[in-house]
Amino acid sequence: MPTEATLEKNTGEAQPWDAYLQIENLWKAFGDFIALRDISLSISEGEFVCFLGPSGCGKTTLLRAIAGLDIQTRGAIEQAGKDISNLPPAERDFGIVFQSYALFPNLTIERNISFGLENAGLSKAAISARVKELLELVGLPDQGKKYPAQLSGGQQQRIALARAIAMSPGLLLLDEPLSALDAKVRVHLRHEVKDLQRKLGVTTIMVTHDQEEALSMADRIVVMNHGVIEQIGTPTDIYREPETLFVADFIGEMNKLSATVSGPGRVKIGSKEFVASGNGFSEGEDVIAAIRPEDIIPHGDTTTEHMAEPENAITCRITEMEFLGSFWRCRLESETLGSTELIADYSINAVRRLELAANKDLVIEIPSNRLKVFPRPTDEI
């Protein structure tokens, strides 16, 4: 049974295991449907990891398997060097926060937070001190006597977070905890959650379908699709160096262009050959070339004299400009590219400096190191 020593924070001292959470060859089937397919993943102590993907990709199923709420069909899970694969949730060391808060409406905020502490048999003095500490930690020191219905959604989620960490769990699981909140509250609270996680040093896994949320909060992102892991990496790696077309397309905006490999490091798009990142494809192979809108470089005139890669320059016409606050989104057409439309994002200063406007011709440069090449999806072949 947990004691008051359970409430001690992590010391950060080196531990004997290589990874705090180790998942090996995990499968989960619901009848004939395979929800998770051979998932392997290592998470270090103190790391903040986001499971990111569209609805039905398996991210919540993986979180529930870690918690023991849905036992995997096969595979192993180790936490802190201990095999927890078949343990019930009550015997696993985690706290969990759900999208719906899941607070007890008939209990005060203090009683909601102290629920697990009371069940652990701690003294009243220890419980009172811990509840006070947690209320201060989540920035709600004066709300203890209220009931959940008297708090805003953001405040209720902070209380749910306080309850989840009350027993100082080794693992904190967050199942889309911010998705039910208003946009401004969500942005504010994600910074608070990240700051709290850093302060506590607790290993954290968060499930989300919100790319911006994952990019701003995670140390590493696990991108999932159809029950498999597409890519694992830092937010910068996931965004700037996507390994698959799915990742490139799912994270942020991406121009996808039908292309044919014309030689080593070269692709033909429309009637023009472009230098691209080394692709390893066979000459003549049909592929997809991709570039992010912000990576397309605008030039103010039709000369290529001062361009880094004049061979990757084309003349376009701006067909439409959309003001999005901090930047302008331009839609570009070029005879060189045929019927393919490009989307380019330019800062307000660039638009002003280059005097960009709808129906104006513009020379753009597509940097070869930002032009990524991916296999064409089989359903397009």
CATH of the domain at 139: 3.40.50.300
> Tell me, what CATH number does 261's domain have?
2.40.50.100
Last residue of one domain, picked from the residues 222, 245, 268: 245
CA dist., res. 21 & res. 93, Å (int): 11
Last residue of one domain, picked from the residues 185, 211, 245: 245
**Do 241 and 258 sit in the same domain of this protein?**
no
**How would residue 301 be classed by pLDDT, with cut points 50, 70 and 90?**
low
**Do 160 and 178 sit in the same domain of this protein?**
yes
Name the 3-class secondary structure at 246: helix
**Do 270 and 163 sit in the same domain of this protein?**
no
Last residue of one domain, picked from the residues 206, 222, 245: 245
Can you read off the two tokens belonging to residue 356? 């960009």
**Do 129 and 77 sit in the same domain of this protein?**
yes
Is the model's pLDDT at 6 over the cut of 50? Answer: no
**Do 162 and 268 sit in the same domain of this protein?**
no
Q: Let me know: does 20 contact 76? Beta carbons within 8 Å.
A: no
Average pLDDT for 66-78? 96
**How would residue 311 be classed by pLDDT, with cut points 50, 70 and 90?**
confident
Residue 304 has what pLDDT?
A: 58
Is the model's pLDDT at 236 over the cut of 60? Answer: yes
Is the model's pLDDT at 13 over the cut of 50? Answer: no
**Do 40 and 150 sit in the same domain of this protein?**
yes
Q: Which of 162, 169, 227 is nearest to 177 (CA)?
A: 162
H or E segment to which residue 173 belongs:
strand 171-175
Is the model's pLDDT at 3 over the cut of 50? Answer: no
Is the model's pLDDT at 266 over the cut of 70? Answer: yes
CA atoms within 13 A on the CB side of 266: 11
- State the total domains in the chain: 2
Query: Which distant-in-sequence residues (6+ apart) come within 8 Å of 227 by Cβ?
Result: 28, 34, 35, 36, 37, 39, 57, 58, 61
Q: Which own/partner pairs from 164-167 qualify as long-range (CB within 8 Å, at least 24 positions apart)?
A: 164/95, 164/96, 164/97, 165/95, 165/134, 165/196, 165/200, 165/202, 166/95, 166/113, 166/114, 166/116, 166/117, 166/130, 166/131, 166/134, 167/2, 167/6, 167/7, 167/95, 167/116, 167/117, 167/120
Is the model's pLDDT at 61 over the cut of 90? Answer: yes
Can you read off the two tokens belonging to residue 159? 């209380």
**Do 282 and 232 sit in the same domain of this protein?**
no
**How would residue 380 be classed by pLDDT, with cut points 50, 70 and 90?**
low
First to last CA, the chain: 60
Q: Let me know: does 343 contact 292? Beta carbons within 8 Å.
A: no
Pairing of strands 33-43, 21-30: antiparallel
Q: What is the DSSP track for 110-139?
A: HHHHHHHHHHTT--HHHHHHHHHHHHHHTT
Average pLDDT for 93-101? 90
Identity (one letter) of the amino acid at 146? K
pLDDT digits (tens, 9 = 90+) for 14-40: 444 569 999 999 999 999 999 999 999
**Do 284 and 136 sit in the same domain of this protein?**
no
For residue 307, the enclosing domain spans: 253-380
Relative orientation angle of helices 153-164 and 109-119, to the nearest 10 degrees: 20
**Do 241 and 270 sit in the same domain of this protein?**
no
Q: Let me know: does 221 contact 65? Beta carbons within 8 Å.
A: no
Residues in the chain: 381
**Do 130 and 175 sit in the same domain of this protein?**
yes
Residue 5 has what pLDDT?
A: 41
**Do 35 and 173 sit in the same domain of this protein?**
yes
H or E segment to which residue 199 belongs:
helix 183-200
Average pLDDT for 53-80? 96
H or E segment to which residue 195 belongs:
helix 183-200
**Do 265 and 240 sit in the same domain of this protein?**
no
